Amino acid sequence: MVGLEGVGTVADSLARRHLRRGLEIHVTQLGYSCVDTSTGVPVPEIVRISPGRRQIIYGETVVRRDLRSKRCHERLLFFSQRRTRRRSSILFFIGVATTDQQQLEALLARLDIRSGIRGGHVHVVPILPVQPIHRRPAVRSRASAPKARGTVAPAAARTRDSAC
């Protein structure tokens, strides 16, 4: 979540950036392509508007460390309760790693954000975590004598009998 990046580790910030990219792709595919700026405090990570319907959505990312953070809980509650001027719910998308999805679902139920009755406008978007790139070490050929650079290989000696 925005504002918590100074607290996390480098791994958290990389994971958060990956989740945000995945969440932005998801909401763009749903048709929320116009980027908007939100006023007020706190400001959501993602604010998008559907160009045809003029419907607004909010988006936040949650990493594993955020699941225990009171500040994260307050932000989730705040954005899940936001309303438009006409008092309708604002769609709220939460990007989370697939490995943390069940913990987030339990947290949303515990905070009474999503239950059997409430929370139809809150959508959890599971995103595959970043897969580390495993590179094979370079295969070295057997040890050989180092080749001298910049030297010319000796040419075959010419004899009088050669044609050229």
Number of domains the chain is built from: 1
Flag whether pLDDT at 56 surpasses 60: yes
Flag whether pLDDT at 35 surpasses 90: no
Domain, as residue range, for 77: 10-127
Whether this prediction's pTM lies above 0.85 is answered by: no
119 domain residue, yes or no: yes
CATH number at residue 96: 3.40.1350
26 domain residue, yes or no: yes
75 domain residue, yes or no: yes
CA 16 distance to own-chain centroid: 5
Q: Terminal CA-to-CA distance of the chain, rounded, Å?
A: 80
pLDDT at residue 6, rounded to an integer: 45
